[in-house]
Structure 1
């Protein structure tokens, strides 16, 4: 076995051993005060971002919406136990809640009923990813699909926000049509129709790559360092270099994991390198702002990456 083969093999072992770290859904993590050290900054991003996302998303869920899916399922269970009276009472309550939502949200098609936030945090290095991709491609060429799958399955580093939405254009009318079926004794048909109604719930997933979020945080800290007055300009310059290098490293990881297009990364790398030419000058603020604006726009384009997540071997929910 030559040195290159050995390195690839060891990288695969590391990847399979480390996999992806999964944090349970809907738990708030305490965040720390940022410190001027790249590793500390990186560690806190996933928890802080998840906390922020939940704070943004959960207030948009109205009480009635959060109960509708569960109560529709309860009605199916009641019908399965021949409790037609109980099922009718439940569905009448669901219908009232839907009417309230329609009155509060005229013209709105989708109302969020449930939000789940999951974090898949990849532990490998950029070099390990490159070796693993190379090895997986080699296995695929030789028809070893399952071997390649074992390598690629953990290669995702992202926050996934999954929202279950109630379609107000169809759900209320469908529920109202089921109650008469129960009254007329058509229980089997009512169960089938209720199951179909649940199937109309619209599930959307936003994918936000952690390496990109971490790069953004690192650049934010780097920009603030330029204005510190407790260090010399040379010391500040060195500190800023550490953070911008760390940010580029995280962007390279995101690129290797297949998030976004190559041209987007080329532009960002070039803009980050340009920062150092204007430090402590009148042009500096504009250069920093340009980098952060472009990175923000890139993040927006990455939000709908469900198909990209599947391409890099991430299991769809």
Structure 2
């Protein structure tokens, strides 16, 4: 009897310990992202202006990766939808035939490819809290939501942790899109303009999508390291190093790049900062750190190419 009581008490103790372990990090309510903190371009002008050159560069690279015929197919689809809305039956049929012809060219040119890049959007999204404590609360909210299988809540919290240039690319599905154009053209010929419009809407909804994020904190760290290399004043140089360390801590808190890369960059910048405070020459350390940060950014940008392969 006594043995049974001991086992019951042990079981209760285990339950209490597990409950405390799970819930302790969330004693303080996690911050709820503001209504503006969704996956949209930041309305704050300073980050957008500061990173506009990088955004424009990313957009230029994404535009170069698009297929001209795929771009034309989407443009003709939009034109056909406009003609259908205007009840221009002859114009809609002509435009859909042109779109179908270009789609056939794509199929013939890319027999092994299932998806062809056809459109892109590049935005600066900077909605993550400035305070790292608030960022960590959001991280805990994400972890708890995933732990309890509340994935919609996790997505909302994750959207509130964005500080990035987002490169979004849309892909034309060659296996289904040409047939959808032909179907829409047939509906127009039969006078079913409503059905044709709905068919084109469904076709547009089948576009595949990929996102690549270029972290703003990592770009800020790169800029700070470059400034530290260029500055000859010891105190100002140290200030740039501290700014780079703060940016890399923010990169870590927001979870950008792989964990190993983040940890290695933080270890390096802290060592450089220690040397700078001790009066040592940090030129070599800054050179190496700049190379590693540039490689981390390059690896993230290369994810778009691997997604398109």
Matched, 1:290 2:304: no
Aligned CA RMSD, in angstroms, stands at: 4.9
Match of 2:237 in 1: 240
In the TM superposition, residue 160 of structure 1 has moved relative to its aligned partner by: 0.9
Q: In structure 2, do the counterparts of structure 1 residues 154 and 141 end up closer, same or farther at CA, with 3 Å as the change threshold?
A: same
Native 8 Å contact 1:88 1:182 kept in 2: yes
1:222 aligned residue (216, 228, 233): 228
- Name stretches of at least 5 consecutive residues in structure 1 with no aligned partner: 30-39, 226-230, 307-317
1:66 aligned residue (67, 71, 75): 71
In 2: Cα distance, 1:305 partner to 1:288 partner: 26
Q: In structure 2, do the counterparts of structure 1 residues 173 and 254 end up closer, same or farther at CA, with 3 Å as the change threshold?
A: same
Match of 1:310 in 2: none
In 1: Cα distance, 2:220 partner to 2:272 partner: 18
Native 8 Å contact 1:75 1:90 kept in 2: yes
In 2: Cα distance, 1:213 partner to 1:93 partner: 43
In the TM superposition, residue 97 of structure 1 has moved relative to its aligned partner by: 3.9
With CA pairs under 8 Å and 6+ residues apart, which has the higher RCO, 1 or 2?
Answer: 1
- Name stretches of at least 5 consecutive residues in structure 2 with no aligned partner: 1-24, 305-309
For residues 151-198 of structure 1, the C-alpha deviation after alignment (integer angstroms, 9 at most, x for no partner) is: 765222111111223345664566457656755778788666545543
Match of 1:88 in 2: 93
Native 8 Å contact 2:251 2:262 kept in 1: no
Native 8 Å contact 2:114 2:175 kept in 1: yes
Match of 2:253 in 1: 256
Alignment of 1:1-317 (within 5 A): 12=31, 16=34, 19=37, 23=41, 45-61=50-66, 64-76=69-81, 78=83, 83-98=88-103, 110-121=115-126, 122-133=128-139, 153-167=159-173, 171-172=177-178, 175=181, 179=185, 194-225=200-231, 231=232, 235-236=233-234, 238-275=235-272, 277=275, 280=281, 284-285=283-284, 287-303=285-301
For residues 25-81 of structure 1, the C-alpha deviation after alignment (integer angstroms, 9 at most, x for no partner) is: 9xxx9xxxxxxxxxx9x8864222112222333355466543422432443565577
Tell me the TM-score normalised to structure 2 length.
Answer: 0.64
Equivalent position SS for 1:259: coil
Equivalent position SS for 1:254: helix
Aligned residue pairs: how many?
274
Tell me the TM-score normalised to structure 1 length.
Answer: 0.62
